Copies of this chain bind each other. A is one copy, B any other.
Amino acid sequence: MLRRRRRPYNLQGMQLELLTIVGVGLIGGSIGLAAKRRGVARRVRGLGRQQASLDRALEIGAIDEAHLDPQAALTGADLVVVCTPVDHIADQVVHFARHCGPATLLTDAGSTKAAIVETVEARLPATGPQFVGSHPLAGSEKRGPDFAHAQLFEHRLTVVTPTPRTPAAAVDRIAGFWSALGSRVKVMSPADHDRALALTSHLPHLLAAALAGTLPADVRELTATGFRDTTRIAAGDPRLWTAIFTQNRMPLLDALGRVESRLREFRQALEAGDPAAIDRLLAQAKEVRDALGN
């Protein structure tokens, strides 16, 4: 399912004159901070819709220039990273590409890939600028530039999702960019990415929300660290996650089916009062969880 690269990406070549970040929240702000701290970009522009977020991104040093106007933000950019909600990314990439020269590279940081990559590929001219989908696995339930930090991508994984049409040089350059920010990089197809993330990210979010959402008010004070850990991500922004669930609904439904089937096994074991069956299910889960580390 997962393709492996033959060699580490060349970080030496990653020295951008001008990086433009669209959306300067937790991810976009952290990209700016990491790019400046690590000398990946000589100059960083932020493009946003809220002056307050842009001002805050300027204050923390995540960007050098703040723009509300796409033309001013995008002209001359070597690399554009679109860090907006997944349901805005494709349209914005297509729209912003018009302001870019053919040598400009565009990427994103969205949690879904197939819908975005397909839409962009169908609408961008093959002559450039080029777009390569990305997903840094480095979010949290927090939002906004106040939570941005330069180390966000260190010891994390970024998935880069080219298609057969993507030039190899563009893939290398985008992979090199994330590597230069401190991230490990994995190249997968958009569909493989979406199937994997449905299982590792979108399904956990759905379960956390189902658990939090059905907690009766009168037992809230009896929750402890277990409940809080298990439901922490349910505090994420519903609008963002609704867009993720909607874009990735078929893989998410498959992933949900896996857990529903396992819950039926638990139900049968409990109804039968069968400790050996319960123990097998719990032991197998512990084995997987232990393998993940903290």
Given A220-B291, A278-B242 in contact, is the A285-B226 Cβ separation under 8 Å?
A: no
Residues of chain A in range 216-249 having any CB-CB distance to chain B below 8 Å: 216, 218-239, 241-243, 245-246, 249
How many copies of this chain does one complex carry? 2
Is A137 engaged at the interface, CB distance under 8 Å to the other chain? yes
Complex CA distance for A192 and B73, rounded to whole angstroms: 60
Complex CA distance for A237 and B283, rounded to whole angstroms: 8
- Min CB distance A158 to B, Å, is 11
- Min CB distance A232 to B, Å, is 5
Q: Please name all residues of chain B whose beta carbon is closer than 8 Å to the beta carbon of A208 when the two chains form the complex.
A: 230, 285, 289
Residues of chain A in range 257-277 having any CB-CB distance to chain B below 8 Å: 258-263, 266-267, 270-271, 273, 275
Is A168 engaged at the interface, CB distance under 8 Å to the other chain? no
Pair A210/B289 contact, Cβ less than 8 Å: no
Complex CA distance for A196 and B218, rounded to whole angstroms: 9
Q: Please name all residues of chain B whose beta carbon is closer than 8 Å to the beta carbon of A270 when the two chains form the complex.
A: 245, 249, 252-253, 256
Given A204-B227, A204-B230, A266-B206 in contact, is the A218-B286 Cβ separation under 8 Å?
A: no
Task: Indicate the size class of the contact surface on chain A.
Answer: 35 or more
Complex CA distance for A288 and B235, rounded to whole angstroms: 8
Given A156-B224, A229-B232 in contact, is the A238-B200 Cβ separation under 8 Å?
A: no
Q: Which of B139, B220, B242, B292 contacts A228 (CB 8 A)?
A: B292
Q: Which of B211, B242, B256, B288 contacts A215 (CB 8 A)?
A: B288
Closest chain B residue to A291, Cβ basis:
B220
Is A138 engaged at the interface, CB distance under 8 Å to the other chain? yes
Q: List 28 A-B contacts (CB under 8 A).
A: A1-B218, A2-B221, A137-B222, A138-B224, A157-B224, A196-B219, A199-B216, A200-B215, A201-B226, A201-B227, A204-B231, A207-B263, A210-B262, A212-B292, A214-B261, A214-B262, A226-B232, A230-B230, A230-B233, A231-B289, A232-B289, A234-B288, A235-B286, A235-B289, A237-B286, A238-B285, A243-B275, A246-B278
Chain A residues with CB under 8 Å of chain B are 1-2, 137-140, 156-157, 159, 186, 196-197, 199-201, 203-216, 218-239, 241-243, 245-246, 249, 252-253, 256, 258-263, 266-267, 270-271, 273, 275, 278-279, 281-286, 288-292, 294
